[in-house]
Every structure is written in structure tokens, then in C-alpha cells.
Amino acid sequence: MLSPSEVISTLEMVQNEHLDVRAVTLGLSLVGCVSDRLETFRRNVTERILQTAERLVTVCDQIGDKYGIPVVNKRIAVSPVAVIAACFDAAQMVEIAHTLDAAAKEVGVDFIGGFSGLVEKGVARGDRSLIEAIPVALSTTDRLCASVNVASTRAGINMDAVVMMGKAIVEAARQSADRDGIACAKLCVFSNIPEDIPFMAGAYLGIGEADAVINVGVSGPGVVKKAIDRAMASTDRPNLGYLSEIIKRTAYKVTRVGELIGREVANGLGIRFGVVDLSLAPTPNVGDSVGEIFQSLGLSSIGAPGSTAALAMLNDAVKKGGAFASSHVGGLSGAFIPVSEDLNIGEAAANGNLSLEKLEALTSVCSVGLDMVALPGDTSAETISAIIADEMAIGVINRKTTAVRLIPVPGKQAGERAYFGGLLGEAPIMSIRGTTGENAFVRLGGLIPAPIHSLRN
């Protein structure tokens, strides 16, 4: 028989602490759809998505209802389009983007990712077409997400690609100027991108994966915050070792839920289960914020001195708890600190407690990087590229994944706000220091060589 405390703690997590399964992502290989005829390729892609994902949303809803834990987002991640559509030019890539977007709408998923390229060592024909297509592709679709990996510890930083991405971001913002540059909110630039990611906007299905696989991304910042609050209230002298243990146990519980539901969905669809991505991903709702965890740990705000240490502890504890809960952990796994999607982090950025520089420091110990950061609309492509390069360097030298999702908001200045709506939320536009003059460093281009520790073999 279940004990009342088991029942109560579960109900608290589900009903009062925003425990949910953030996303079930169907990874779908489109390698078999390849054709050098655009119409054939598009038709193959559409058929493949419609056939495999037809029941995805229904099954997710049924499983969510059975366990009383909602699957908030249902998504699809496909093989990197720059690889499977390498023979097409930029205009044709845009048509492929529309095909993916239409198929996503047809099966009712929230996002489809995989408009992606891997260019850490060099830009191939398909990659160039894809990057050139990104601004139009993202500004003329609703559900398509794109990602480009421009650096890795093994290969170094492809500064030519970094420059291209700086220009792509500025152009994507310009083409979606009427919506505060929302196209950029669907574009991630990575270093050390994992072989397979189920989390948007960077999601894609790795080349080493099976034909179809179900991955699940769990969330739960609200659950972690409440667990810390309870621990703080229950003892006179809580120390960080104790709190780390609390976070670890909570991450374990959250991950177990994700794996259970992911496996059920996979069974329901007759598709192999892949991995749990155990990231703490916030929403713009009160009580579902990563930023609030910092306050529960005794900091006045995220961004205050001590924040990097707190985030390092949080991230590590989440990974430890998750690793015990599931043998199949992947993706990004850790804490996300997006400025626009997290109410508390957004407030810290708005009131000056969190600067772009401190955000960059935080990214050295967290999962992703400069995520959903709104910048002044007149920020130059060179400046964007330079920020990308800085973030890539943190990833390359520290052998970790980092990424940027930057949004230069057309027509707006630092201190104003950008509005994206829904899960993407809103964000204060952050100022950038030291941008006067040109950035000749970025223009040098070329490949920043791989660091010495890449020679490990």
C-alpha cells in the first residue's frame, strides 16, 4: 500500500510545483527521403513525417492523462537538413523549410527541429545553402527551429562560420522585425553540439541514431525550488552539501517521471526509447523559474556575486540525480538560464542585477549558454559574431556544450522590452559594452585551432 507521504509528495510535485514533462520529441531520420529532385524529396519528407508522427500528439496526451502529468510540448527532430539536402541551393532550402513546417502543423506538434548544419571544421555546399536560407526560412515559418554547430573542442572554432551566423542572425531579425525578431528565437549557434539533441531550438536527430526514436525532456525548476525551500525551513543550519543532496534527490524523482512517460509513449507508438534530457527548463510562469532557485539558495538575485557557484552546484546536482535515475541520459542535461523564458531571470536582467558579462560567466558552468538574450536592434553583425565567438571559446576550452540564442530586436534599444509570446515569453533588451568601433578580430576569419587537450586519444 502506498503511504500517505508518498501520495502527498507526488501530488505536491504535480499540482503545486509545476512538475511536467516539458517535451516528448520524436527523432525522425529523413536520410531515407534523400533525392536530388526537390519535389520528390519534399514529398518523401512529408509522407515520412505524417506516417510516423500521426499518433504522436494523441498518445502523448493519453499517457499524460493516465499519469496525471502533462506532456506540455510534442515535437519532432529530424536529421540535419544540411546533410540530407546537401545538393540544394538556398532558395530550395527555404522550400524544404516550408515543407517541414507544414508537416509539423499537420501532425499538431509545437516545433520541428533539425534545420541544422555541422560546420565546426568547414562549410560544405549544403551547409552554406542552409545558413543562407536561415533568415527567410525562420521568418516565414512558425514551428521550424534551426541550429548550426560552429565549433568543437576537437576541431576548434570556425570563425568563418561564426561570421556567417552573425550575419544570418541580423538578417533573420530584420526579416521578422514586425515580431521583435522572433525568427532569431528559433535559432541556436553551438559549440560541441551533442550528437543528438531532443531540446529545442537546437534539436536534431543524430546521424548515428535509429530510424525513429522517442526522446523526452523533463523540467521541474519549481519542484527543485520548493524542495530547497522545505529543506531550508526544516533545519536550523542548512549547508550547501545538504542542499546539494536535496537537489540531487529531487532531480532523481523528476527524471524518473520523464523516463516512465517517455518509455510509455515509445511503447504506444512502437518506437524505440532514446534518452532523457534532464534539463531544468523554466517557463515564463511564476513558480516555474530557474532564477527563483538562486533566491531560495540565499542570493538576492541571479547575477549577484555567488551566482556562478550556485549554478555550478545546481547543475552538478541535477546531473548526479538524473544519472542515477536513468541509464539513458543525453541531450543537454543541466540548467537552462534563458532570459526571456524565465520570469525571474528576465527581471534580474531588467533591473541591472544580471549583465551580459555575468550571463556569459554563468554559461561556463551551465548547460547551454547565452539563451534567449535580446539585444539592441542596431547591434552589428560583427558584434553578434564576436559574442558568438566568446561563447564558443568557453565551450571549446572547457570541453562542454555552449550555445547562443541572440535576438537583436529591430528598432528597439537597451532598456526596452521585446515580446515573443507563449513559452518564449518576453525579455528586457540588454546593453552590450565595448561595441564602439569596428571588430577587426572577427573579420580575420579562419579557424581558431583546437586546444591542446583535444589531442587526447
Q: Which residues form the interface with another protein (CB under 8 A)? A: 1-2, 4, 6-11, 13-15, 65-69, 253, 256-257, 260
- With contact defined as beta carbons under 8 Å apart, do 375 and 433 qualify? no
Q: How many residues does the chain have?
A: 457
Distance of closest approach, residue 253 Cβ to another protein, in angstroms: 5
Closer to another protein at the Cβ: 90 or 323? 323
Distance of closest approach, residue 6 Cβ to another protein, in angstroms: 4
Retrieve residue 222's grid coordinates: 519549481
Task: Kindly tell me the number of DSSP H helices and DSSP E strands found in the chain.
Answer: 15, 13
DSSP letters along 127-142, please?
HHHHHHHHHHHHHS-S
- With contact defined as beta carbons under 8 Å apart, do 82 and 117 qualify? yes
Distance of closest approach, residue 68 Cβ to another protein, in angstroms: 4
CA pair distance 426, 431, nearest whole angstrom: 16
Distance of closest approach, residue 5 Cβ to another protein, in angstroms: 8
Inter-helix orientation angle 307-325/240-269, to 10°: 50
Residue listed under C-alpha cell 518509455: 263
Burial of 406 (0-12, 13-18, 19+ CB in 10 A): buried
Closer to another protein at the Cβ: 32 or 68? 68
Closer to another protein at the Cβ: 114 or 220? 220
Closer to another protein at the Cβ: 181 or 262? 262
Closer to another protein at the Cβ: 1 or 440? 1
Distance of closest approach, residue 224 Cβ to another protein, in angstroms: 14
Distance of closest approach, residue 67 Cβ to another protein, in angstroms: 5
Closer to another protein at the Cβ: 7 or 309? 7
Closer to another protein at the Cβ: 230 or 256? 256
Buried b (16+ CB within 10 A) or exposed e, 88-119: bebebbbbbbebbbbbbeebebbbbbbbbbbb
Distance of closest approach, residue 233 Cβ to another protein, in angstroms: 16
